[in-house]
Chain A
Amino acid sequence: MKAAMKKTGLLLFLVGLIQVAGGCIMEERVIELVVNETTCVDFQENHATVSFVNPVTINYANEIQKILDDNGVAREDILSARLVSASYGVTHFPEHVDWNITGSITVERVGSGDGPKTLWDYNDVSVSAALGKKKSMVLIPDGVGVLNKALADFIAGEIPELTFTVDNTGVTPSPSVGDPIVFEWKACIVVDIVAKTDIEVPDPF
């Protein structure tokens, strides 16, 4: 009994020591982490004219929420979210002589009257040269503004849906019913989400 009491006393002492020492060694910190989010929109083109319009709508809130869940970040912890860059690439191009295309990609907020605004103007872009590549877009502030506002509204609790539209105005050589322009491509936007997180770190001295 005496030995058991002695062991219990030692155990309590150790627990106390660990708690006291832990309190001295651990420091609370609020740190800001950066979560990267890449959202891609796929366009399938099959047209017989030089001008064509191809809209694709995505639930942007779902895309962001998924990446937040993967990283264990709550929406309330987000401090800011901004567009970093955008890129495009051709994902499927049946064997054919090259097409060169001219036009723009616009972005519009569904149901809010925000947009459409031009995100990227492309001029005489080779389809075959972009096959399997990731090429940078030179972004236009109007379209970036629509995206950044959608991100800010997501942080505020809204569920933004976005429509990205290919508004093509030129194709060389000209396609026809017998020789349509057929290819698939995607546009990707990269977003940095800055979120705060509480952590205890060992910083004893």
Chain B
Amino acid sequence: MAFDGLPKKGFAFLVLLLCLAQPLSAQIEDQLSAYTGANATGYLQPFSSAFGADLNSGIFRAASIPKMHPKIRLEFQVMSVIFGDDDKTFRAVTERGFTPKTYANAPTVVGSGTALIVEGDGGTAFAFPGGFDLHSFALAAPQLRAGGLFGTEVIFRYFALDVGGSGDSESSDSGLGKISLFGIGLKHSVSQYLPPGIPVDLSAGFFWQSFSLGENKNGDKLISSHAFSIGVQASKKMAMFFEPYTGVSYDTNSMNVSYESEATGSTTSIDIDFEKESSLHLTLGLGIELPVVKGFAEYNIAGMNSFAFGLSFGI
């Protein structure tokens, strides 16, 4: 009974975290409107990688799965990346008929907030928009883990919120569109097929996710992202409550951005599909298993390093 209120509070916190990304998505479209094609891709690339890294964190955790014992947990977690200096600029090129064609290290979406101006022929100048000067990018996700049937557990992530309106200029302060997350995957105990005496629990699993954020001026999704992870995990229960774990997985993620640009002199719909990124992913983490509440914290070494932590409630 003492824990009755905690899931509600945790949920409120998650709603808060997810909603906070919305003002960012609204402003991103304004910043992007100065760019077309290659510049837009370079500008947003750290964001694409961060989305993938965040989404593919905090999924599998410890490898122990009861063979025939009910297990159901409601989990709340935060996943985040910390951006490095390399993420702050990209090799941009002038647009809009500017001469001479000039390359420059311009701010990415997470880079300096100051615009970069380059001088051209006859007193002309070209301006690259500033970024948002971000140190980190975090996502939060509620997750349901249920299993204990033939050593298998199913994992769900789901969240949907309609903040209302679309991202057009008249309603951008109050109508920021929709945010949604859906993920599903399985984890299966490998230990049950192995002879006794192996000192660690082993499991294998996969997880697929779809995430979308914001609306563009046409009412379409501004940012949509998909991620997939497949891997194996190992963990060892120690000292009653502690369960250190590790995992190796193969991750992929892709992102699409759809927005309106006025960089060509007329309003043009720009649709950018980022190249699918794939990477090997090593997880090092620690789970704490108390009777009703459990916690975890992990660090992920992958294409973009990330960390995750959270609480879960259940049996």
B-contacting residues of A (Cβ < 8 Å)? 10, 13-14, 17-18, 21-22, 25-26, 29-36, 38, 70-72, 79-80, 82-87, 134, 136, 138-141, 144-145, 148, 188, 190, 192, 194, 197, 199-205
**Which residue of B23, B123, B138 has the most chain A CB atoms within 10 A of its CB atom?**
B123
| Contact with A14, one of B12, B114, B123, B125 (Cβ below 8 angstroms) | B12
- Which residues of chain B are within 8 angstroms of A82 by Cβ–Cβ distance? 117, 123-125, 127
For A72, what are the chain B residues with a Cβ–Cβ distance below 8 Å? 169, 172
Grouping DSSP codes into helix (H, G, I), strand (E, B) and loop, the A interface class, with mixed when no group exceeds half, is: strand
Known contacts A29-B132, A202-B138; A84 and B23 CB within 8 A of each other: no
Residues of chain A contacted by B82 (CB below 8 angstroms): 205
In contact, A33 and B31 (Cβ under 8 angstroms): yes
Residues of B within 8 A of A205 (CB): 80, 82, 135-136, 138
* B30 beta carbon closer than 8 Å to chain A: yes
* Interface pair A32/B114, CB less than 8 Å apart: yes
CB-defined contacts of B17 to chain A, threshold 8 Å: 21, 25, 202, 204
Contacts of B266 in A (CB 8 A): 38
Across the interface, which residues of B come within 8 angstroms of A202, CB to CB? 17, 20-21, 23-24, 137-138
Q: Select one of A26, A33, A34, A188 contacting B20, CB under 8 A.
A: A26
Q: Report B204 CB to chain A, min CB distance, Å.
A: 31
**CB-CB < 8 A to A188: which residues of B?**
265
Contact of A200 among B23, B123, B124, B262 (CB under 8 A): B23
Identify B113's interface contact among A21, A32, A80, CB under 8 A: A32
Q: Does B96 contact A (CB under 8 A)?
A: yes
A85 in contact with B16 given A32-B130, A205-B138 (CB within 8 Å): no
Knowing that A31-B130, A144-B123, A197-B27 are A-B contacts, what are 19 other residue pairs whose CB atoms are under 8 Å apart, sorted by A's residue number?
A14-B12, A25-B138, A26-B20, A29-B132, A33-B31, A33-B130, A36-B33, A38-B262, A72-B169, A79-B115, A136-B97, A138-B121, A141-B122, A141-B123, A194-B115, A199-B27, A201-B133, A204-B78, A205-B138
CB contact between B127 and one of A14, A71, A145, A194 (< 8 Å): that residue: A194
CB neighbours of A194 from chain B (8 A): 115, 117, 127
Count of A-B residue pairs with CB < 8 Å: 155
A-B pairs with the 5 shortest C-beta distances?
A: A85-B97, A38-B265, A82-B125, A202-B20, A32-B115
Please state if B265 and A83 are interface contacts (CB–CB under 8 Å): no
Cross-chain contact A36 with B34 (CB below 8 angstroms): yes
A17-B9, A34-B129, A36-B262 known; A85 vs B135 contact (CB < 8 Å): no
Inter-chain contacts of B241 with A (CB < 8 A):
none
A204 x B136 contact (CB < 8 A): yes
Interface residues on B, range: 35 or more
Docked Cα-Cα span, A136 to B120, in Å, equals 14
A107-B29 Cα distance, complex, nearest whole Å: 34
A22 partner residues in chain B, CB cutoff 8 A: 16, 20
Within 8 Å CB of A79, what residues of B? 115
Cα A72 to Cα B131 with chains together (Å): 18
Q: Do A21 and B115 have beta carbons less than 8 Å apart?
A: no
- Return chain A residues, CB-CB under 8 Å to B16: 18, 21-22, 25
Which residues of the partner chain A approach B97 to less than 8 Å between Cβ atoms?
84-87, 136, 190
Within 8 Å of chain A (Cβ to Cβ): is B242?
no
B123–A85 touching, CB < 8 Å: no
A65 to B12 alpha-carbon distance, docked (Å): 42
B99 within 8 A of A: yes
Q: Are B117 and A17 in contact (CB under 8 A)?
A: no
| A197 CB contacts on chain B under 8 angstroms | 27
Q: Which residues of A contact B127 (CB under 8 A)?
A: 34, 80, 82, 192, 194
